[in-house]
Chains A and B, each alone.
Chain A
Amino acid sequence: MLTTHNLTRHYKTASGQELTVLDNISFDIAAGDTFAIVGPSGSGKTTLLGLCAGLDRPSSGSVTLNGVSLEQLSEDQRAAVRNQHVGFVFQNFQLIPTLTALENVMVPLELRGDSGAEKTARAWLEKVGLGHRLDHYPSQLSGGEQQRVCIARAFSNDPRILFADEPTGNLDADNAAGIVDLIFELNRSASTTLVLVTHDLELARRTQRILKLKGGKQETIINNYE
């Protein structure tokens, strides 16, 4: 489902020096697998997620998502891939503040021209337990509720792969547990591939494999079934 090969990303600092944020990362994730990327702050987790999801281009190396080599595509073509095959759950929810919960969930569906967008979005919001808060704006929802809307939006377009960036990072313990359960449950029922970025090892252990990053380098890949 997702293959990275010698993935490297440099950035230029303000002083003009080249900073290597990711260095030669290679791994494979099969369809339906769950995969965690862990590491301390600044280890390159989020950068790796961005490259895998086609939000950024690598400096060198390749990313193949669902059989499509992302580095060859333009930003608009990558956007189309994201819309068709990718779902996102963010640490800070990333809901559009001017849209209601329902409208937020409808966005990826409407972008692909789905005529049944509203019906699907309603169904997903019911599924995450927010059927009674369809018309609420993000600022009227609690953090846990906002993250549920985000999950409903992520699953609404029936993605092949779901990227979750610290999904519990902004939530209290009770809410966090609920959200994690929800993600794994929906992931199972929809047979989606899950890529989870976290520094919470407990959470990472719920996935099948864990990639450990340190200083931008791939330290190890742990197989949780071994």
Chain B
Amino acid sequence: MGFIFKMAWRDSRRNRGRLFLFISAIMVGIAALTAVRSFSINLTNDVDREAKTLLGADLLLSAQQALPDSILQRVSAQAAEQSKVVNFMSMIRFPKNGATRLTQIRAIEGNYPYYGKWKTEPEAAWRSFRNRKAALIDHTLMLQFGIQPGDSVQIGEMTFVVEGDLLSAAGRAGIASAIAPVAFIPAQWLDSTGLVQRGSRIDYQYYFQMPPQRSADELIKPLEKDLEKAAIRDDTVESRKRNVGRAFGNFGTFLNLVGFIALLLGCIGVAGAVHIYIKDKLPTVAILRCLGAKGRQAFYVYLVQVAGIGLLGAIGGAALGALIQKILPWVLRDLLPLEEVSTDFSFVAAGQGILLGLSVAVLFALLPLSGILRTSPLRTLRAAYGENENSGRGLRWAVYLLIAASVFLFTWWLIGGWLQTLYFIGGIGVAFGILFGIARLMTWGLRRFFPRRWSYTTRQGIANLFRPENQTMLLVISIGLGTMLLSTLFLIQSLLLKQLEFSGSGNQPNMVLFDIQKNDVDSVSALLKFHKMPIIQQAGVVTTRVETIDGRTKLQDEADTLKALPGWVWDREYRVTYRDTLLDTEKITQGAWSGVWTPGEPIKVSVSSDLAKAMKAEIGTKLTFNVQGTRMETEVASVREINFNRVQPAFMVLFPKGVLEQAPQFHFMVTRVESEPQSAAFQSSLVQRYPGISAIDLTQILKSVDEVLSKVSFVIRFMALFSILTGLLVLVSSIYQSKYARIRESVLLRTLGASRRQILGIYGMEYFLLGALSCLSGVGLSVFSAWALVKFVFQIPFEPQWLPLVLTFASITALTVLIGLLNTRDAVRKPPLEVLRSEV
């Protein structure tokens, strides 16, 4: 053993820089994984510690209607204190500048939150606004419309003073503001706003604080059945903790996987670099064997070297991970429910990172290391006596198997499900396989159709791609995979936004007005006309619930555990409309459309294909609706496919004309605005006159979606950066490793009279082709994967933007050439003899 360690140490002395460079490729992956792991551990601890602040109370009951007294009284009797928040969407308007925005109004009564506090400006505003005719406005809105505390805001028929700027509230992720900004008002003014009317979509929340020693979980246990029956959701500190844990768990898994891809890329780099390193070491191995070293001894010498440097790299990676972990809360700030996540150093995460780094370094180096066992001592007499190609085949397969099993088990450890693990490994395997195939095809094609008449430097540059010790395979896989990850992300984001923009282009509708009272329909129509806006569609909306499906009630359905329908089919409030014609976004796929009801016949409704599937409904299925107290027997007469890619309301259930006209209802209108100023002017006058009407503007949706996508994609890009960085390190490392082989060649060429320019030309051509082909493969694959994603997942047309892809291609290719030329400058600058003497 002494000899092995001594030899490993001595032999590494003149190669440490080189060894460290190749291990740096896995350092980045380890850093990413350690950072994410460490962050997750801290987040879990913080969530545990601040669990009560996340909910702000011990128990939350929420429902789409006010809690029945029977339940409310039973809970209140045991609670120390309670608060009520009424939530609904409505337009708000700032008289200061006439700006309007669809906002989530939260009318609060009581002292909620009982744990933690909200961050407002001024600081005390989150308490003081409750006793005044004042509102707390989301920071996003304040910023967007230049509102200051002291300005006023019109909500419904009331005008409130803006008491403060709501910077953050515990339990609410920053990104929620982009989706639905909030405005808090004291509940005592709710009725005066005139916004709560029959049919309005309202969410009621009741927050309870329990007396000391009393648990909320114990309190709701006996109530569970009653709560379920009344479609009341309950949330306790424990369940909120679980939900936050689960939500971040999924995201954490995703971040881990992105880090893991970087690590895998690094591993390929390590395998490639060790391969070249060991190839250079084979003469030394032959000498050792000639002097009496056993095959295993020589093997262990280099295994110890790789393991040692792997350990150092892993420690470096873990340390880097600890630093990156400090900025992760900032990167993820908009997606976290907690305002601050601690950044304590996690020994567990660091330990796991170090162990992982060491294992993958050794595992992926085993394959090239196994070449040592096949090295004959005869090589000392003649270099041509290489290795016995046939020996060690079993060992090589054993190593392949070991690598596959380890990658599989590690992925499973990260994800947790066998099937998902298979998908992930399968996906990565396919990408690797395709890139591997491309590299093979490329080298074969270049060899087969070698341009014999081209200039000498070009021919040499091309030939370097398929000569022994070429880097083609390694670089095509590493650069290709990195480029693919980045450009797929980019393509998907731009395609989604483009689709949204497209859905409002041409003469397509781009604004929907909701909650129009029947009496206001005519005057709103006049207002639209005044603003030169067309009425593309107008209809009534009635709120209903499903009571029975083919005579079965929810309770009967639930008793049959095998056939039970999803709970939402029974619990949700169905907003239905009625008309005698189909829209161009709807297509009947089953049955026949019946637009008008004939008295005495069954009421023939049309359901969307998604609902039909969830309800297991067929043509002829009987549905009983409860239309605000009135039972209505209907029959499914048709199933519709709906194209959701339009800005207009889509209805799961469509009634024929002649049934719901007299039911309590509100109306909606679909229109089109041509410009932002037109939209702003219309919305301002609409809110001023009809404060209860909500307008959904596609421009606003686009802005929100863009904001959300930007925030999410920033995080994804941040993680993808690790893959790119790894790809670059693999690039630098593999070019550096191959330098030794290329140096000999360039020295020989220079000795034979080649000029520096010619040598640079050869390298330039080689690295240009390598970079260009790798990048092209990556971009090509990303176009394919983006196409598959938009076709099968998002189901939108595939019209990618090519310019950014061309820019990605050009910049990564240029970078490859630059790194390649920088790395070979020694071979060109120094005199041949000096290079030959200092080669070792």
Given A55-B377, A97-B284, A98-B11: A79 and B292 within 8 A (CB)? yes
Specify which chain A residues have a CB less than 8 angstroms from the CB of B840 in the assembled complex. 97-98, 137-139
Bound CA–CA A1/B12 (angstroms): 39
Given A97-B284, A97-B840, A165-B381: A88 and B2 within 8 A (CB)? no
Indicate whether A31 reaches chain B with its CB closer than 8 angstroms: no
Bound CA–CA A90/B552 (angstroms): 94
Specify which chain B residues have a CB less than 8 angstroms from the CB of A98 in the assembled complex. 10-15, 284, 840
Given A55-B380, A76-B294, A99-B11: A110 and B6 within 8 A (CB)? yes
Q: Is the CB of A49 within 8 A of B837?
A: no
Specify which chain A residues have a CB less than 8 angstroms from the CB of B377 in the assembled complex. 55, 79, 82
Specify which chain A residues have a CB less than 8 angstroms from the CB of B199 in the assembled complex. none
Specify which chain A residues have a CB less than 8 angstroms from the CB of B644 in the assembled complex. none
Chain B, range 279-295, C-beta contacts under 8 Å to A: 283-284, 286-295
Give B1-24 as 1s and 0s: 1 = Cβ < 8 Å from A's Cβ atoms. Answer: 011001100111111000000000
Main secondary structure of the interface of B (DSSP, over half): helix
Bound CA–CA A113/B292 (angstroms): 12
Q: Is the CB of A56 within 8 A of B288?
A: no
Q: Is the CB of A50 within 8 A of B378?
A: yes
Indicate whether B838 reaches chain A with its CB closer than 8 angstroms: yes
Q: Is the CB of A79 within 8 A of B284?
A: no
Look across to chain B and name the residue whose beta carbon is closest to the beta carbon of A166.
Answer: B381
Q: Is the CB of A111 within 8 A of B292?
A: yes
Chain A, range 116-148, C-beta contacts under 8 Å to B: 137-139
Specify which chain A residues have a CB less than 8 angstroms from the CB of B381 in the assembled complex. 46, 49-50, 55, 90, 165
Specify which chain A residues have a CB less than 8 angstroms from the CB of B460 in the assembled complex. none
Indicate whether B205 reaches chain A with its CB closer than 8 angstroms: no
Bound CA–CA A113/B293 (angstroms): 11
Give B811-840 as 1s and 0s: 1 = Cβ < 8 Å from A's Cβ atoms. Answer: 000000000000000000000000001111
Give A42-68 as 1s and 0s: 1 = Cβ < 8 Å from B's Cβ atoms. Answer: 000010011000011000000000000
Specify which chain B residues have a CB less than 8 angstroms from the CB of A79 in the assembled complex. 289, 292-295, 377
Indicate whether B352 reaches chain A with its CB closer than 8 angstroms: no
Bound CA–CA A108/B294 (angstroms): 12
Given A98-B284, A111-B3: A88 and B291 within 8 A (CB)? yes
Q: Is the CB of B10 within 8 A of A103?
A: yes
Indicate whether B376 reaches chain A with its CB closer than 8 angstroms: yes
Specify which chain B residues have a CB less than 8 angstroms from the CB of A138 in the assembled complex. 840
Indicate whether A24 reaches chain B with its CB closer than 8 angstroms: no
Specify which chain A residues have a CB less than 8 angstroms from the CB of B13 in the assembled complex. 98
Specify which chain A residues have a CB less than 8 angstroms from the CB of B499 in the assembled complex. none
Q: Is the CB of A110 within 8 A of B284?
A: no
Bound CA–CA A82/B172 (angstroms): 75
Bound CA–CA A106/B292 (angstroms): 12
Rounded to whole Å, the gap between the CB of A130 and the closest CB of chain B is: 18
Bound CA–CA A56/B376 (angstroms): 8
Q: Is the CB of B380 within 8 A of A88?
A: yes
Bound CA–CA A83/B377 (angstroms): 12
Interface centre among B6, B294, B837 (most CB of A within 10 A): B294
Specify which chain A residues have a CB less than 8 angstroms from the CB of B837 in the assembled complex. 139
Indicate whether A219 reaches chain B with its CB closer than 8 angstroms: no
Specify which chain A residues have a CB less than 8 angstroms from the CB of B294 in the assembled complex. 76, 79-80
Chain A, range 151-190, C-beta contacts under 8 Å to B: 153, 157, 165
Look across to chain B and name the residue whose beta carbon is closest to the beta carbon of A87.
Answer: B291
Indicate whether A201 reaches chain B with its CB closer than 8 angstroms: no
Q: Is the CB of B2 within 8 A of A96?
A: no
Give A65-77 as 1s and 0s: 1 = Cβ < 8 Å from B's Cβ atoms. Answer: 0000000000110
Indicate whether B152 reaches chain A with its CB closer than 8 angstroms: no
Indicate whether A7 reaches chain B with its CB closer than 8 angstroms: no
Specify which chain A residues have a CB less than 8 angstroms from the CB of B382 in the assembled complex. 46
Given A98-B13, A111-B3, A113-B3: A84 and B292 within 8 A (CB)? yes
Specify which chain A residues have a CB less than 8 angstroms from the CB of B297 in the assembled complex. 111
Chain B, range 244-301, C-beta contacts under 8 Å to A: 283-284, 286-297
Q: Is the CB of A139 within 8 A of B291?
A: no
Rounded to whole Å, the gap between the CB of A42 and the closest CB of chain B is: 12
Indicate whether A26 reaches chain B with its CB closer than 8 angstroms: no
Bound CA–CA A95/B286 (angstroms): 11
Look across to chain B and name the residue whose beta carbon is closest to the beta carbon of A153.
Answer: B291
Look across to chain A and name the residue whose beta carbon is closest to the beta carbon of B838.
Answer: A139
Bound CA–CA A112/B3 (angstroms): 9
Bound CA–CA A110/B6 (angstroms): 9
Rounded to whole Å, the gap between the CB of A63 and the closest CB of chain B is: 14
Specify which chain A residues have a CB less than 8 angstroms from the CB of B291 in the assembled complex. 82-83, 88, 107-108, 111, 153
Bound CA–CA A97/B10 (angstroms): 11
Look across to chain A and name the residue whose beta carbon is closest to the beta carbon of B284.
Answer: A96
Q: Is the CB of A107 within 8 A of B288?
A: yes
Bound CA–CA A139/B840 (angstroms): 8
Specify which chain B residues have a CB less than 8 angstroms from the CB of A157 in the assembled complex. 292
Bound CA–CA A31/B167 (angstroms): 95
Q: Is the CB of A82 within 8 A of B6?
A: no
Bound CA–CA A170/B490 (angstroms): 61
Bound CA–CA A110/B10 (angstroms): 13
Specify which chain A residues have a CB less than 8 angstroms from the CB of B284 in the assembled complex. 96-98
Bound CA–CA A79/B734 (angstroms): 34
Look across to chain A and name the residue whose beta carbon is closest to the beta carbon of B288.
Answer: A107
Q: Is the CB of B292 within 8 A of A94?
A: no
Bound CA–CA A113/B12 (angstroms): 21
Interface centre among B6, B13, B287, B840 (most CB of A within 10 A): B287
Look across to chain A and name the residue whose beta carbon is closest to the beta carbon of B836.
Answer: A139
Q: Is the CB of A139 within 8 A of B292?
A: no
Q: Is the CB of A96 within 8 A of B11?
A: yes
Rounded to whole Å, the gap between the CB of B218 and the closest CB of chain A is: 71
Look across to chain B and name the residue whose beta carbon is closest to the beta carbon of A92.
Answer: B380
Bound CA–CA A46/B3 (angstroms): 30
Q: Is the CB of B295 within 8 A of A96?
A: no
Q: Is the CB of B2 within 8 A of A113?
A: yes
Specify which chain A residues have a CB less than 8 angstroms from the CB of B838 in the assembled complex. 139
Q: Is the CB of B2 within 8 A of A55?
A: no
Q: Is the CB of A111 within 8 A of B14?
A: no
Bound CA–CA A113/B15 (angstroms): 26
Q: Is the CB of A139 within 8 A of B378?
A: no
Given A97-B284, A139-B837: A112 and B292 within 8 A (CB)? yes
Look across to chain A and name the residue whose beta carbon is closest to the beta carbon of B293.
Answer: A111
Rounded to whole Å, the gap between the CB of A132 and the closest CB of chain B is: 20
Specify which chain B residues have a CB less than 8 angstroms from the CB of A90 in the assembled complex. 380-381
Rounded to whole Å, the gap between the CB of B152 and the closest CB of chain A is: 80
Rounded to whole Å, the gap between the CB of A225 and the closest CB of chain B is: 29
**Which 5 A-B residue pairs are closest in the complex by CB-CB distance?**
A83-B292, A97-B840, A76-B294, A108-B291, A55-B378
The interface of chain B, by Cβ under 8 A from chain A, is 2-3, 6-7, 10-15, 283-284, 286-297, 376-378, 380-382, 385, 837-840
A-B CB contact pairs (8 Å), 23 listed: A55-B376, A55-B377, A55-B378, A55-B381, A56-B376, A56-B378, A75-B289, A75-B295, A76-B295, A76-B296, A80-B294, A83-B292, A94-B286, A97-B14, A98-B10, A107-B7, A107-B288, A110-B3, A111-B3, A111-B288, A111-B291, A111-B293, A165-B381
Q: Known A-B contacts: A107-B288, A153-B291. Give 14 more (CB < 8 A).
A: A56-B385, A79-B293, A82-B292, A82-B377, A90-B381, A94-B286, A94-B380, A96-B11, A98-B10, A98-B11, A98-B12, A107-B291, A111-B3, A157-B292
